[in-house]
Chain A
Amino acid sequence: MDLNYSAEDLAFRDSVRAFLAAQLPPELQDKVRRHLRLSKEDFVRWHKIVAAQGWAAPAWPVEYGGPGWNATQRHIWEDECARAGTPPILPFGVNMVAPVIMAFGNDEQKAYYLPRILNCDDWWCQGYSEPGAGSDLAALKTTAVRDGDHYIVNGQKTWTTLGQYADMIFCLVRTDPTVRKQEGISFLLIDMKTPGITVRPIVMLDEEHEVNEVFFDNVRVPVANLIGKENKGWTYAKYLLGHERTGIAAVGRSKRELAFLKALALRQQKGGQPLLRDPLFAAKVANLEIELMALEVTVLRTIAQEHQGPGPQASVLKVKGTEIQQMLTELMVEAVGPGALPFDPAYLEGETEHAAGGDDDAAPLAGYYFNYRKTSIYGGSNEIQKNIITQMILGL
Chain B
Amino acid sequence: MDFSYKEEQQQFADALRRWAERDYTFERRRAIIHSDAGVSPEAWATLVELGMTALPVPEAQGGFAGNAVDMLVVMQELGRALVVEPYFATVLGARFLQLAGGQEELLARVAAGEVKLACALTEAGSRHDLAAIAAVATGTPDNMGVSGIKTVVLHGGQADAFIVSARHQDAIALYLVEADTAGVAIRDYRTIDGLRAATVSFDHAPATPLGAPGQGWDILEAATDYGAALLCAESIGVMDALFAATLEYLKTRQQFGAPIGKFQALQHRMADMFIHLEQARSMAMLAAVKVDSADPEERRRVVSAAKARVGQAGKFVGQQAVQLHGGMGVTDELPASHLFKRLTTLGLTLGDADHHIERFIAQPGFGETD
8 Å CB interface, B176-212 against A: 187, 189-193, 197, 199
8 Å CB interface, A179-205 against B: 202-205
Tell whether, in the assembled complex, residue A203 and residue B331 are in contact, meaning their CB atoms are under 8 Å apart: yes
Tell me the bound Cα distance from A371 to B192 in angstroms.
12
- The reply to whether the CB of A378 lies closer than 8 angstroms to some CB of chain B is yes
- Interface size for B (C-beta < 8 A) is 46
Known: A129-B327, A342-B197, A376-B323. A358 touches B124 (CB 8 A): yes
Tell whether, in the assembled complex, residue B345 and residue A341 are in contact, meaning their CB atoms are under 8 Å apart: yes
CB distance from A282 to the nearest CB of B (A): 12
- The reply to whether the CB of A77 lies closer than 8 angstroms to some CB of chain B is no
Residues of B within 8 A of A387 (CB): 265
Binds B, one of A92-100, A102-110, A133-141: A133-141
Known: A132-B254, A338-B349, A377-B323. A370 touches B341 (CB 8 A): yes
Tell whether, in the assembled complex, residue A370 and residue B189 are in contact, meaning their CB atoms are under 8 Å apart: no
Binds B, one of A66-74, A148-156, A263-271, A292-300: A263-271
Partner of B256, one of A129, A136, A336: A136
8 Å CB interface, B113-155 against A: 122, 124-125, 127-129, 132, 151-152
Residue of B nearest to A137 (CB): B255
Tell whether, in the assembled complex, residue B354 and residue A280 are in contact, meaning their CB atoms are under 8 Å apart: yes
Q: How large is the interface on A (under 10, 10 to 19, 20 to 34, 35 or more residues)?
A: 35 or more
Tell whether, in the assembled complex, residue A373 and residue B349 are in contact, meaning their CB atoms are under 8 Å apart: no
- The reply to whether the CB of A383 lies closer than 8 angstroms to some CB of chain B is yes
Residues of B within 8 A of A359 (CB): 124, 151
Partner of B331, one of A205, A275, A342, A381: A205
Residues of A within 8 A of B261 (CB): none
Partner of B352, one of A334, A356, A374: A334
Tell me the bound Cα distance from A146 to B198 in angstroms.
60
- Residue pairs across A and B with CB atoms within 8 Å: the count is 141
Residue of B nearest to A344 (CB): B189
Tell whether, in the assembled complex, residue B125 and residue A268 are in contact, meaning their CB atoms are under 8 Å apart: yes
- The reply to whether the CB of B266 lies closer than 8 angstroms to some CB of chain A is yes
- The reply to whether the CB of A333 lies closer than 8 angstroms to some CB of chain B is yes
Tell me the bound Cα distance from A290 to B212 in angstroms.
51
Tell whether, in the assembled complex, residue B327 and residue A342 are in contact, meaning their CB atoms are under 8 Å apart: no
Tell whether, in the assembled complex, residue B124 and residue A371 are in contact, meaning their CB atoms are under 8 Å apart: no
- The reply to whether the CB of B36 lies closer than 8 angstroms to some CB of chain A is no
Residue of A nearest to B266 (CB): A383
CB distance from B267 to the nearest CB of A (A): 12
CB distance from B325 to the nearest CB of A (A): 8
Tell whether, in the assembled complex, residue B189 and residue A333 are in contact, meaning their CB atoms are under 8 Å apart: no
Known: A342-B189, A342-B192, A366-B344. A204 touches B151 (CB 8 A): no
- The reply to whether the CB of B319 lies closer than 8 angstroms to some CB of chain A is yes
- The reply to whether the CB of A369 lies closer than 8 angstroms to some CB of chain B is yes
Tell whether, in the assembled complex, residue B332 and residue A205 are in contact, meaning their CB atoms are under 8 Å apart: yes
- The reply to whether the CB of B326 lies closer than 8 angstroms to some CB of chain A is yes
Residues of A within 8 A of B331 (CB): 202-205, 211
Tell me the bound Cα distance from A374 to B349 in angstroms.
25
Residues of A within 8 A of B266 (CB): 383
Tell me the bound Cα distance from A358 to B257 in angstroms.
50
Residues of B within 8 A of A91 (CB): none
Tell me the bound Cα distance from A371 to B341 in angstroms.
11
Known: A338-B122, A338-B127. A377 touches B330 (CB 8 A): yes
Known: A268-B127, A281-B354, A337-B352. A135 touches B256 (CB 8 A): yes
- The reply to whether the CB of A340 lies closer than 8 angstroms to some CB of chain B is yes
Known: A134-B327, A341-B152. A373 touches B190 (CB 8 A): no
- The reply to whether the CB of B329 lies closer than 8 angstroms to some CB of chain A is yes
Tell whether, in the assembled complex, residue A357 and residue B326 are in contact, meaning their CB atoms are under 8 Å apart: no
Partner of B129, one of A271, A356, A358, A374: A271
Interface flags for A353-396 (1: CB within 8 Å of B; 0: not) read 00011110000001101110110111001110011000000000
Known: A270-B129, A367-B192. A373 touches B330 (CB 8 A): yes
Residues of A within 8 A of B265 (CB): 383, 386-387
Interface flags for A102-143 (1: CB within 8 Å of B; 0: not) read 000000000000000000000000000100101110010000
Residue of B nearest to A383 (CB): B265
Known: A341-B345, A358-B151. A134 touches B127 (CB 8 A): no
CB distance from B12 to the nearest CB of A (A): 29
Residue of B nearest to A271 (CB): B129
- The reply to whether the CB of B333 lies closer than 8 angstroms to some CB of chain A is yes
CB distance from A165 to the nearest CB of B (A): 19
Tell whether, in the assembled complex, residue B152 and residue A135 are in contact, meaning their CB atoms are under 8 Å apart: no
Partner of A341, one of B337, B338, B340, B348: B348
8 Å CB interface, B47-91 against A: none
- The reply to whether the CB of B285 lies closer than 8 angstroms to some CB of chain A is no
Known: A207-B332, A357-B152. A159 touches B192 (CB 8 A): no
Partner of A204, one of B254, B255, B332, B358: B332
Tell whether, in the assembled complex, residue B319 and residue A373 are in contact, meaning their CB atoms are under 8 Å apart: yes
Tell me the bound Cα distance from A344 to B254 in angstroms.
37
Q: A341-B192, A343-B189 are in contact. List 19 more A-B contacts (CB 8 A).
A: A129-B327, A134-B327, A205-B331, A206-B192, A280-B354, A338-B152, A338-B349, A339-B124, A341-B191, A341-B193, A342-B190, A357-B199, A358-B124, A369-B344, A373-B329, A377-B326, A377-B330, A383-B263, A383-B265
8 contacts between A and B (CB under 8 A): A158-B327, A159-B327, A203-B331, A205-B330, A339-B152, A342-B197, A358-B124, A373-B330
Binding site for A on B (CB under 8 A): 122, 124-125, 127-129, 132, 151-152, 187, 189-193, 197, 199, 254-257, 263, 265-266, 319, 322-323, 326-327, 329-333, 337-338, 340-341, 344-345, 348-349, 352, 354, 357-358
